[in-house]
Every structure is written in C-alpha cells, then in structure tokens.
Structure 1
Amino acid sequence: MTITYNVIEAVIAITAGHMVSSSALIAFGLDSIVEVMSAAAVAWQFAGPDPEARERIALRLIALSFFGLAVFVGIDAMRALLGAPDPDHSTIGVVLAAVSLAIMPFLSWFERRTGRELGSSSAVADSKQTLLCTYLSAVLLVGLVLNSALGWGWADPLAALIIAGVAAKEGVDAWRGKHCCTPPLFTVESSESTCASRRC
C-alpha cells in the first residue's frame, strides 16, 4: 500500500512542481521516492526465507533513506530561503497535500502496529518515515496556501528545515537500531525448546 501510493504521489508532485516551478512540490515528490525505497527495504526483508538475517541490512537501508530525505528537503529549503523565486499557485499541489495529510497517518499507524506485532524494528522505522511524510504534507499544504494567499514564501522552507533535522535524527536512530519493538521478532529460546521445535 505504501509503495503504490508513494509512486503515484511522486509522479503527481514532481510533474505539478515542474509545471508551476514549485521547489516544494518537487521536493515532496522526491520525498515520496525516498519513502518507496524505505518501504521496499522492509518488503525485501520479509520476502526472504530468513527475515532475521536481513533485519540489520533493512534498518541500514531505511536509515540511508532518512538521510536522503533530510538532504533533499534541507537543500530545497535552503535554496528557497536564499532567494529562489516563489512558485505559482497549484491547485493540484494543494489537493495532493490535503489527500496525503489524510492518508499518511493511517498508513503510518498500520505499519507501526504491524511492526510491533511482528517485533520488527525495520517496520517500525519505516512507519516513522511515513509519519514524516504526514508532517511534510502539512508543511507543503500550509506553504502553498500561505504563498498563494499572503505571499509568505519563507514559511514552507523554514518548517521544512525543522523536519529535515527530525529526519536526520530518525536516520541516526535507525542506523543504531534504536527503534524499539515489543515483542521481539525472533525470540531467543532455550536450547531444549529449540531442539523440541526442530523435532516438530
């Protein structure tokens, strides 16, 4: 669900961003691509016969996607603050941001619940990536509306810089494996229970 939605979101955002010269919309589309990479890492982990062996690699891939998001959003925000021209009004962008703001919290909650039920740190980390998209959707929506209504082109990049900092922190946590899940995905059993399960 996350991969499918974000692919559609990326295509719409980047196309609309080029049409109205909106760096915020283009950055939002790039963020969607980063989210696809993060969700794909989790899908890759559970596609194998031994997800435990892939857990650390999946977490590292998710961490890199967080860092990528921070870089994309941070560079675009600094570019906007340093004098990039204000974008034209984009009805498509406003609608896309509003729809994402409504959908992303549900996807994040679903991913987080599933990750905790499985005890998967990578799935929980990916849910935080999706939650960040919720914040970016709100930032994009507010920025587009304020730019269109009041000409406040600085509001969006300022908030985006804060989100970029949060994304960088989440990336560090994912890299260090600090996303806590209960119960653990792969419970350590005693040697007797392990042997019994193998006999079964």
Structure 2
Amino acid sequence: MLNMPTAEHLRLVQLGNKFEYWTMLWNLLSCAVLSFAITLHPSTVIQAMSVVAFIHLFASVVVLSQITGIDRNREHFALKAISLGYGAATLYLLARAIIGLLAGKHFDDNYVGILWLGMTYFVMWALSWNKRRVGHALQNQVLIHVSDMNRTDAFVALAAVSGLLLCAFCDFYWADPLSALIVVGYCCEEGIAAWKASIEHARIGELEYQQSKREQDEQRTKL
C-alpha cells in the first residue's frame, strides 16, 4: 500500500481477513442449511442459492490469499477461476430452472429456506459495506469485486425469498423456477464481470512488468 504506515496496513489486512472469514463461515453454513432445506422440500431456487454459496465459499478462500498483498498475476488467475465457476453454475442452473418451469411441479412450502435467505439478505448487505471500505483503503481489487458480489447477493437472496413466498402463500408454482432464473442471470453477469476484470488485471500486470524492466535497464546503463 503506497504511503501507508505499516501498522495501519496490517490493521486493515486483519480487518479484511476477519470479514472474509465471516463470509466463509456464512457461506459454509448456507451450504449446509440450504442442502438440509432441499432434503425437506425440493426447490429449484434453493438449489440455485446453495450452488452460489459454494462458489462464494471458494471466492472467499481466493480473497484471503490476496488481501495480504497485490500480485497482479495472482489476482488475474483468481478472478478467472471465479468467472469459470460462475459460468458452470449458469449452465447447470439454467437447465434446472427450465426443466422446473416446463414440468409445472408445485413445490412444498420451504420455511427453512425462507428464513435463512431472509437472514442472508441482511448479512450480505453488512459484509458488502465493510469489505468495500477496507478494499478501497488497501487498493485491493479482488476484495472490492467480492464486496460488489455480496451486495448483489443481498438482492438475489431477496428475489429468492420473494419466489418462495409466492409459492407458499399465493400458490404460484412458477415463482420458484422463475426466481431461480434471476439467480442464473446473476451468475452470468458476475461471471462476465470477473472475466473482464481478470483481463484488465493481466493488462495492468504486463504494463507494470514492462515499466519495471525499463527501470532496471536504465539502472544497468547508468552503472
């Protein structure tokens, strides 16, 4: 971090780590709780949210490896891995949602999923705000990108809850797979955004490498 006292830098790194550990814990719990909810009452949108939670669990591991320092090459591969994960999830969940719509199956009310995803909405908002603040202070693009993901997670969780509530109280069977399509759109958008960010980081890393090489050549010339 440029012109930042070492103590302050370490404090921010520790703070960023803390928020990512909380995110990992929540995503791990989400995988468990939503998997349990699916065994009670199958649901396309809850399955979609459990897949997203798994991808975010991986993303948290990636971010933790990045917070301690800015390595353009590592950030490039981290963002690309996240992008590929979203791409695979998009194809899988799209197929599941279309099958759910065509089948016209009415899923049983899933109050465990409703409660957990409702809590997820508020948790993701809090994590997003704190990660963005620390990410800008550290100038860490991966942390900033994940904060954007968490903010969008809040809206996606709200959409999922809305679909489940419509199924439970209005008997709209199509609301479950339709809200799953919203999750599919989110995965597609995030995958494209992460891929573009990985390309940009690769370009910046190459420019920094060329600049460093020129400076070294100039120093050798002076000697």
How does the TM-score come out when normalised to structure 2?
0.72
- 1:72 CA displacement: 4.1
Equivalent pairs: percent with the same residue?
Answer: 24
* Cα contact 1:77–1:158 (8 A) shared by 2: yes
- Which of 23-32 and 161-170 deviates more? 161-170
Q: CA deviation at 1:178?
A: 7.3
Q: Are 2:89 and 1:60 aligned?
A: no
List runs of 5+ in structure 2 lacking aligned partners. 1-21
Please list every run of 5 or more consecutive structure 1 residues that lacks an aligned counterpart in the other structure. Answer: 196-200
8 Å contact kept, 2:101–2:177: yes
Given the superposition, is the C-alpha separation of residues 103 and 96 from structure 1 closer, same or farther in structure 2, using an over 3 Å criterion? same
Residue 142 of structure 1: how far off its partner (Å): 0.9
Q: Which residue pairs with 2:151 in the alignment?
A: 131
Q: Distance in 1 between matches of 2:88 and 2:145?
A: 15
Partner of 1:157: 177
**Larger gyration radius, structure 1 or structure 2:** 2
Question: Could you tell me which amino acid in structure 2 is paired with residue 39 of structure 1?
Answer: S
**Higher helix share goes to which structure?**
2
List per-residue Cα deviations over 1:41-99 (Å, max 9, x = no partner): 1112335x663441111111221233234334323321221115222112211110111
Q: Letter of the 1:73 partner, please give it.
A: L
1:34 equivalenced with 2:34 (yes/no) = no
The amino acid across from 1:18 in the alignment is T
Which of 99, 105, 116 is residue 85 of structure 1 equivalent to? 105
In structure 2, the CA distance between the partners of 1:116 and 1:84, relative to structure 1 (3 Å rule), is: farther
Say what the alpha-carbon RMSD is for the aligned residues: 2.9
Give aligned pairs, total.
188
Post-superposition CA distance 1:89-117 (Å, at most 9, x none): 12211110111111111112222222222
Normalising by structure 1, report the TM-score.
0.79
Question: What code does the residue aligned with 1:9 have?
Answer: S
1:75 maps onto 2:95 in alignment: yes
Distance 2:131 2:85 in 1: 17
